[in-house]
Homo-oligomer: A and B are copies of this chain.
């Protein structure tokens, strides 16, 4: 397979010629932010909702994906009549900084006509991602976002938005996330990175000109990550010990091949992923997640990140999520309470694991619709029930 298909399509984007100053001290000389919008911005520019995507997501939150042909990635949440209702709200979703769907990242040329950044792309942080989004929001002439909503790494961005630009966030919904990346999560990310490094096609990150990509390593990285997105219950229910088109184990003993359905499923996840994602972006973005530590940015106390905040928060976790377990969401809610913030905390019962935030969870839809509806009244977007 040659290089990531994403480089072949053009994405709607905004270009910021003044670049972006990064937490690491380096300055990106030019910044492109690729994004999509859905619905209409009202005259007061007060109905904008920013959706922040997760590690392997992108800006195509509410439409068919131009590369994969798959449906909108948050179809349960974003669209006409859905909790993030595109008939009421102006929905914005941008590819994150460091990504590979049009926003500036390691696939891009370091300078016009030069070779791609590759692994020389500067290390970035979740806050850098948010700063890039802030430029887009300013560019769109929006002074205050009605809401910022996201799950997993998207939830980290939601927290960072509320901490860094509090006056610009009326409501914030961090879902299935944490205020820092745990040792276990860093460890799983590191396995993925080592798998990429071990692939000879990685070629020290300069594979773009070779006609080959480190698909083996990136596929393994995706496989291990995918296991962490599911609960043990979900895997057991979905696959159990079912064999792949064969009889019982005793009759079908063979050393290799996708004997168990769960193996075939994971291999499929790995091989489809490498067609739409860039390995250097994977390295850059997982690193940003690992660095994320909101408390460390605020003298060791998460609550200081939210001192004096007027943002309304709805913190949501899922009971079977072991990647970002409920206790980490509860810690966020506790810090918000300590900061005297307006906060709701909901743990949704689900056996689907971390992925639940992307799946058909009626309770998630109900909580989101209820919270955003209430906030819309307070923001004067909807007539009050009273």
On A, residues with C-beta under 8 Å from B are 23-25, 119, 121-123, 125, 180-184, 186-188, 190-191, 193-195, 197-200, 216-217, 219-220, 223-224, 227, 230, 232, 235-236, 238-241, 248-250, 253-256, 259-260, 262-263, 266-267, 270, 283-284, 287, 290-291, 293, 296-297, 322, 325
Contact = CB atoms under 8 A, between A and B. Distances in A.
A220 B200 contact: no
A262 B296 contact: no
A121 B255 CA distance: 8
B123 A183 contact: no
Copies of this chain in its oligomeric complex? 2
Contacts of A119: 255-256
Given A180-B241, A182-B236, A200-B200, A187 B254 contact: no
Given A119-B256, A123-B255, A198-B217, A182 B248 contact: no
B198 A219 contact: yes
A249 B296 contact: yes
Contact of A123 (B254, B263, B284): B254
Given A181-B241, A235-B184, A262-B187, A125 B217 contact: no
A198 B297 CA distance: 39
A183 B255 contact: no
B191 A236 contact: no
Residue among A25, A119, A180, A290 facing the most chain B CB atoms (10 A cut-off): A290
A254 B122 CA distance: 8
19 contacts: A25-B253, A125-B253, A182-B241, A183-B232, A183-B238, A183-B239, A184-B236, A186-B241, A186-B263, A187-B263, A188-B227, A190-B223, A194-B267, A194-B270, A241-B296, A249-B291, A249-B293, A250-B297, A255-B283
A238 to B, nearest CB: 7
A193 to B, nearest CB: 8
A230 B186 CA distance: 14
A186 B264 CA distance: 11
A287 B249 CA distance: 11
A253 B23 contact: yes
Contacts of A266: 187, 190-191
